[in-house]
């Protein structure tokens, strides 16, 4: 198959490209960074130089036909920096361009597109969210409001054909997770607020294998929660990571200080409480996480990060 991956050099993308190439696909990966083209080639894929916000910059480098498009690009969120109103508005514009242009490309190629999302659900006590739950757009997740509408429209008209993968917090060797690793390495890992809120997790390799399954089964018009089997609180995850890295137990930063330093938009997502079910992905995609719990996945990840094994960093 001819597959175009937008964001193939990111955290999930760096696990996905080799899987797609090994399965015998002809893979095209977009990057804005010329130095990554050679690295993409080394994996066995074709590097396409350009920016998804300006599809004219790369359209001529793509083949005449594509079988599927995968969107994995993420707008430039700087961890540890205060989220201003202006930056939030820019991120919303950026996200809109990513989705609009990927969907327009899918229409022009008459190819389905796999779109990413996050598990923005709110559950209480023993509640478990599935794909039928309403998405809660609070804080920084509000930047996805317009794309929700774009997706609804596309699903109603079946144009373009869409498959949505709704990820828990993705951890693995690269991307934003490297920030958390570096902070922990410096002994500056922290629990934000009380840390007793549940956050779904997924290893980047498992996020990538879900895409492979979606390409294989092509369940157009459907969405799937991609998270591991083990509910974990923010505190559980952070403390376990510190233990694995032989660091002292991370302290807590009170919620009001997190809000003061990082802004209300970050604070709102940090304290979101959510447990999810991955039953639909298992049943329909035949996808099962290689790391059913963050405990197994983190062990592998910390080792990989120590050895700095990532194609793109
Ligand atoms: N990480 C999470 O916890 C999480 C949770 C839920 C959903 N998601 C979604 O899952 C997807 C994958 O996440 P990730 O963590 O793998 O992302 P990531 O590591 O931050 O990857 C960023 C990727 O986006 C590309 N990119 C950014 N701006 C671009 C632009 N204007 N044009 C072309 N490419 C651009 C980068 O390519 P170059 O720098 O090479 O150009 C890079 O490949 C994203 O869509 C994200 O929103 C992530």
pLDDT at 78: 80
Q: Which residue has the higher pLDDT, 192 or 76?
A: 192
Supply the residue whose CA is at minimum distance from atom 46 of ligand 1.
74
Comparing C-alpha atoms, which of 131, 122, 134 is closest to residue 166? 131
Q: How many CB atoms are closer than 10 A to CB 103?
A: 22
Report CA(9)–ligand 1 centroid distance (Å): 8
Locate 264 and state its tokens. Answer: 């209300």
Write the Ramachandran bin of 74: left for phi over 0, alpha for psi from -120 to 50, otherwise beta: beta
Kindly give the number of the ligand 1 atom that is closest to the alpha carbon of 36. Answer: 40
Kindly give the number of the ligand 1 atom that is closest to the alpha carbon of 177. Answer: 1
Residue carrying the six token digits 């089964």 = 217
pLDDT at 232: 96
Report CA(169)–ligand 1 centroid distance (Å): 13
Residue carrying the six token digits 């596309």 = 154
Comparing C-alpha atoms, which of 37, 8, 53 is closest to residue 207? 8
Judged by average pLDDT, the poorest of 75-84, 240-249, 256-265 is 75-84
Helix H, strand E, coil C: the string for 201-251 is: EEEHHHHHHHHHHHHHHCCCCCEEEECCCCCCEHHHHHHHHHHHCCCCCCE
pLDDT at 245: 97
Residue carrying the six token digits 């007793």 = 196
Q: Ligand 1 — pocket residues by CB below 6 A?
A: 6-13, 30-33, 36, 51-53, 72-74, 116, 118, 167, 169-170, 175-176
Distance (Å, whole) CA 24 – CA 1 = 8
Report CA(75)–ligand 1 centroid distance (Å): 6
Comparing C-alpha atoms, which of 78, 81, 76, 30 is closest to residue 57? 30
> Does 91 score more than 80 pLDDT?
yes
Distance (Å, whole) CA 237 – CA 220 = 34
Tens digits of residue pLDDT in 8-45: 999 999 999 999 999 999 999 999 999 999 999 999 99
Tens digits of residue pLDDT in 147-168: 999 999 999 999 999 999 999 9
Distance (Å, whole) CA 238 – CA 4 = 35
> Does 311 score more than 80 pLDDT?
no
- The full set of domains in the chain, from first to last, is 2-176+200-228+275-290 (3.40.50.720)
Supply the residue whose CA is at minimum distance from atom 7 of ligand 1.
118
Report CA(6)–ligand 1 centroid distance (Å): 8
Q: Kindly report the pTM of this predicted structure.
A: 0.97
């Amino acid at each position: 198959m001819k597959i175009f991956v937008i964001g193939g050099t990111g955290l999930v993308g760096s696990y996905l490209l080799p899987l797609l190439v090994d399965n015998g696909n002809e893979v095209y990966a977009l990057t804005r960074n010329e130095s990554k083209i050679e690295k993409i080639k080394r994996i066995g894929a074709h590097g396409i130089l350009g920016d998804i916000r300006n599809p004219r910059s790369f359209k001529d480098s793509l083949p005449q036909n594509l079988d599927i498009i995968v969107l994995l690009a993420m707008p430039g969120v700087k961890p540890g920096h205060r989220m201003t109103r202006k930056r939030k508005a820019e991120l919303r514009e950026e996200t809109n361009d990513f989705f609009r242009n990927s969907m327009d490309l899918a229409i022009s190629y008459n190819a389905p597109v796999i779109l990413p999302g996050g598990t923005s659900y709110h559950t209480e006590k023993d509640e478990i969210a599935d794909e039928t739950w309403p998405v809660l757009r609070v804080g920084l997740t509000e930047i996805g409001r317009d794309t929700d509408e774009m997706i609804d429209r596309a699903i109603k008209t079946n144009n373009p054909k869409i498959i949505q993968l709704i990820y828990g917090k993705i951890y693995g060797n690269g991307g934003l997770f490297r920030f958390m690793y570096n902070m922990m390495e410096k002994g500056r890992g922290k629990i934000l607020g009380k840390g007793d809120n549940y956050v779904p997790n997924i290893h980047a390799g498992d996020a990538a294998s879900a895409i492979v399954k979606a390409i294989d089964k092509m369940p157009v018009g459907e969405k799937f929660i991609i998270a591991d089997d083990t509910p974990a609180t923010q505190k559980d995850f952070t403390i376990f990571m510190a233990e694995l890295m032989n660091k002292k137990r991370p302290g807590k930063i009170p919620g009001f200080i997190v809000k003061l330093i990082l802004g209300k938009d970050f604070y709102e997502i940090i304290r979101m409480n959510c447990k999810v079910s991955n039953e639909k992905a298992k049943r329909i995609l035949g996808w099962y996480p290689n790391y059913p719990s963050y405990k197994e996945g983190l062990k592998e990840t910390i080792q990989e990060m120590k050895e700095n094994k990532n194609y793109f960093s």
